[in-house]
Amino acid sequence: MTASPPLRVGIAACLFHRDAARPVFNGKPLYYVESSMARWVASQGALAYMVPEPQGPSQVERIADDLDSLVLAGGVDMSPRSYGEEARKPEWSGDAVRDDYELTLVRAFVARAKPVLGICRGHQVLNVAFGGTLHQDILTDVAGARVHRDPVPYDQLTHEIDIEPGSSLSLMYGGATRARVNSVHHQAIKTPGKGVIVEARSSEDGVIEAFRVEGAAYVRGVQWHPEFAHPTPTGQLDSAVVLTDFMAAIDRRKNEKDRGESR
């Protein structure tokens, strides 16, 4: 029996735009993926591919046809203009170029019912893709908010989350309703998008930490970074479980497609 080919997971690239003041590569524009993300995606046998900005609509279609799934990684803020607002501070202006690139990919993969997982910024991008909005700054916008991003402990900053009982996230973790995750973000979901079902919130201030999209084949967002917690530190939510669930969804999608083509 011929072994099934490995799953092909596209990871949307982080962008360094042209910058004459940057000494690395003489300021040329760069695409990159953090090694922790690539290693995490590949840890269960999938092939991880960085996806550069598509050169035109036909290339978007070819990318979405070729790959089995899409991961949206963390990084710079979204531009408030991407969800119909203006930045209230210059430092919250975000990256509209990366927004357009990632939103275009999301639409193409969702249209093909191919699984999409959003992490941190990617969690926020998915919410915006379905018509939602963001808090430009949690400490400014959310009364009684805890600190969700501290550059000193960085990915060692953690907090508790409350998981919705009976939700798919709770079922993934054996019925858990409370857990601890890392926290590296200052923006967050304000208004959930169409079909966005909230599955976890920060225990202290109610900030949305996880969701799935109702009706989509598989679209899930988590505000924490499971790739930063692999292998999982003691006391934190097992980072492998989110990936296992994602890989299972990709397998189901491929098997359904193969059965359909064999009829």
**Active site members:** 120, 225, 227
176 and 199 in contact (C-beta within 8 Å)? no
**69, 114 contact by CB (below 8 A):** yes
**Secondary structure (DSSP) of 131-167:** T--EES-HHHHSTTPPP---TTTGGG-EEEEEEPTTS
Cβ contact 68:247 at 8 Å:
no
- Taken as a whole, the chain contains a residue count of 263
Helix H segments across the chain?
35-42, 57-66, 96-111, 121-129, 138-141, 168-172, 239-262
In our burial notation (b when 16+ CB lie closer than 10 A, e otherwise), range 73-111 reads: bbbebbbbebbeeeeeeeebbbbeebbebbbbbbebbbe
**Which are the contacts of 9, defined by CB distance < 8 A and separation ≥ 6?**
41, 46, 47, 48, 49, 67, 68, 69, 70, 71, 250
**Of all helices (H) and strands (E), which one includes residue 203?**
none
AA identity, residue 148: H
How would you class 144 by CB atoms within 10 Å of its CB: exposed for 0-12, middle for 13-18, buried for 19 or more? exposed
